[in-house]
Structure 1
Amino acid sequence: MPAQLVQAGRPEERMKNKFDGRPLHVLLAMAACSVLLNGCGILFQNHEKRADATLEPTPGNSARGTITLIGRADGVQVTYNLTDMPPNSDHALEVHERGDCTAMTDQDASPVFALQSDRRWANARLDGELGNIRADTAGVATGFIVATDVSLDGVRSVITRAIMLHRDGTNPYTMSPHNVGPAITCGVIRR
């Protein structure tokens, strides 16, 4: 018989020739290693840390929008897309301690987020003070801020805290940035 006819024989013969000399447990171990290595690739992929907040207007206001927070090596990128704001106006964007948007007067809002150790310095900038954003002539504000003092996990995590847009912006030239007026929109940061 010609050689090509022997190789094209029955399936049992082809299988026998292919795995000739290898015990079954070696083949199973090789298959298991292959599956584990493929699984490790998924396990060690770079998983993006992300959270979102939907901002709804506070009583008497119309500003609304979305906030997306993405963890980066240099902090948290806070991307905002807000509408129905007063045209050509500056507003302070802040993270507050409690994730509660039901009571929105200055007296009822929780303090701006900061670690207890950071609160000891009078008039110091707090972790939750993300910065000012500006509405254009149509009352729209889009862009991002990189917040270096907060994170999406650990002790500086802003997850489940309220993020508020306040009526006024902070004055970068004063030592007391905490007078920003009432919130005009609020949302809770969630994964």
Structure 2
Amino acid sequence: MIKKLKHASFAVSVVGVLSLVACQTMEQGTGQKASANLDSRSGSRAKGEVMFTWQGNDVLINGKFSGLKPNSEQGFHVHEKGDCSAPDATSAGGHFNPETKSHGMPNSGMNHAGDLPNIKSDANGNATYTAKLHGFAVNIGPNGIVGRSVVVHRDPDDYKSQPAGNSGPRIACGLIK
């Protein structure tokens, strides 16, 4: 009887560990939210507000921006550090890249977690932004964006130049909280 209990206990332990590992690799959200208010950097007038909402394996991103170059595209990325203190936002570090991938097209699987689609401004330099992405989480974990920064660049991201898409100076930056 004791021998059978040991085997049953071992089996339950193995199942428990495997379940825990599966949960860690298939991390999902259930509506967790984070936001960032972006302030101008590098002498620009660009500003914005961004909301991140975790929905299962995806993160819905909604934003509003002003002070952008009219009728143009601007690069947009989550950066590794939650520090926008430098006048040019270089204090935010490089793109958020927990899996050490190359820079690339968002949602391609061959990109930094922080690679986001470009922002497209209207004739007045304003933009409304919506994207649904995967590859990061709305938390403070290793794949989490909370406590990091989000940055708007002056130029469009070409999604191929390494290491950051040739998107130019950082014109707005905000802490994700």
TM-score, length-normalised on structure 1? 0.67
Residues of 2 paired with 1:180 and 1:121: CA distance? Answer: 15
Residue equivalent to 2:112: 126
What SS does the aligned partner of 2:83 have?
coil
Deviating above 3 A after TM superposition, structure 1's stretches of 4 or more consecutive aligned residues are: 104-109, 120-124, 174-177
Please tell me whether residue 184 in structure 1 is matched to residue 176 in structure 2: no
Paired residues, number: 142
Give the Cα separation in 1 of the matches to 2:175 and 2:155.
20
The separation in 1 between residues aligned to 2:175 and 2:55, in whole angstroms, is 21
Deviation of residue 132 (structure 1)? Answer: 0.6
1:99 aligned residue: 82
**Does the CA-based 8 Å contact 2:81-2:91 persist in structure 1?**
no
Q: Please tell me whether Structure 1 or Structure 2 has the larger radius of gyration of its CA atoms.
A: 1
Secondary structure at the counterpart of residue 87 of structure 1: coil
Greater shift, 136-145 or 104-113, is seen at 104-113
Q: Shift of residue 175 of structure 1? A: 5.4
SS for the counterpart of 2:31 is coil
Taking the aligned partners of 1:160 and 1:122, their CA distance within structure 2 comes to: 21
**Between structures 1 and 2, the one with greater strand share:** 2
Q: C-alpha separation between the residues in 1 aligned to 2:36 and 2:103?
A: 30
The aligned counterpart of 1:66 is: 49
**RMSD, matched Cα:** 2.3
Counterpart of 1:168?
155
Instruction: In structure 2, list runs of 5 or more residues that go unmatched.
Output: 1-28, 105-109
CA deviation after TM superposition for structure 1 residue 106, in Å: 7.3
| Structure 1 segments unaligned to the other structure (5+ residues) | 1-45
Q: Is the 8 A contact 1:70 1:78 kept in 2?
A: yes
How far did 1:54 drift?
Answer: 0.4
Partner of residue 138, structure 1: 124
**Match for 2:82: what amino acid?**
G
Q: TM-score, normalised by structure 2?
A: 0.72
Which residue type is aligned with residue 145 of structure 1? Answer: A
Partners of 1:132 and 1:122 in 2: CA distance? 14
Q: CA deviation at 1:56?
A: 0.6
What letter corresponds to residue 67 of structure 1 in structure 2? V
- In the alignment, the residues of structure 2 paired with residue 122 and residue 86 of structure 1 have an alpha-carbon distance, to the nearest angstrom, of 24
Deviation at 1:147, TM superposition (A): 2.0
Structure with greater helix share of residues: 1
Taking only the aligned residue pairs, the percentage that are identical comes to 28
Please state if 1:155 is matched with 2:155: no
